[in-house]
């Protein structure tokens, strides 16, 4: 019984810590669908809010993202799809495998 109680304590305490920060981002309806070509059209995306200020997993879990490694994600939708626009910055783009 003590093992179950200890397990429950560990499980719920970790869950509670993980739930402290709540982030929210909205998807906005669009009348003009974006072209799916890897280019973010400023006229469609510039007015949308950006999900940013992420936490990193590595090298130090939970620390804020590094300034030169930031990420920004935006969402819009229409009657056919959910569109996700994302910009991922990298201080060493030449090290990215293609």
Can you give the pLDDT at residue 5?
46
Does a structural domain hold residue 32?
yes
Three-class secondary structure of residue 87 per DSSP? strand
* Cα distance between residue 75 and residue 81, in whole Å: 11
Residue with the larger pLDDT of the pair 71 and 22: 71
The domain of 64 spans 24-95
Does a structural domain hold residue 13?
no
Does a structural domain hold residue 57?
yes
Arithmetic mean of pLDDT, 51-59: 77
Does a structural domain hold residue 89?
yes
Arithmetic mean of pLDDT, 65-94: 87
Can you give the pLDDT at residue 20?
58
* Cα distance between residue 12 and residue 5, in whole Å: 11
**Taking a C-beta distance cutoff of 8 angstroms, is the pair 25, 52 a contact?**
no
* Cα distance between residue 23 and residue 50, in whole Å: 12
- DSSP bridge pairs for 74: 85
- Asked if the model's pLDDT at residue 37 lies above 80, the reply is yes
Arithmetic mean of pLDDT, 75-83: 95
- Number of domains within the chain: 1
Can you give the pLDDT at residue 6?
45
Does a structural domain hold residue 19?
no
Does a structural domain hold residue 11?
no
Burial-class residue 52 by CB neighbours within 10 Å (0-12, 13-18, 19+).
middle
Residue with the larger pLDDT of the pair 1 and 26: 26
Does a structural domain hold residue 70?
yes
Does a structural domain hold residue 10?
no
């Amino acid at each position: 019984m003590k093992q179950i109680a200890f397990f429950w304590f560990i499980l719920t305490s970790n869950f509670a810590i993980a739930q402290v920060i709540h982030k929210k981002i909205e998807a906005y309806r669009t009348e003009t669908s974006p072209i799916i070509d890897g280019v973010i059209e400023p006229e469609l995306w510039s007015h949308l809010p950006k999900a940013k200020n992420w936490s990193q997993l590595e090298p130090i879990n939970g620390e804020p993202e590094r300034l030169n490694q930031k990420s920004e994600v935006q969402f819009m939708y229409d009657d056919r799809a959910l569109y996700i626009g994302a910009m991922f910055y990298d201080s060493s783009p030449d090290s990215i495998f293609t």
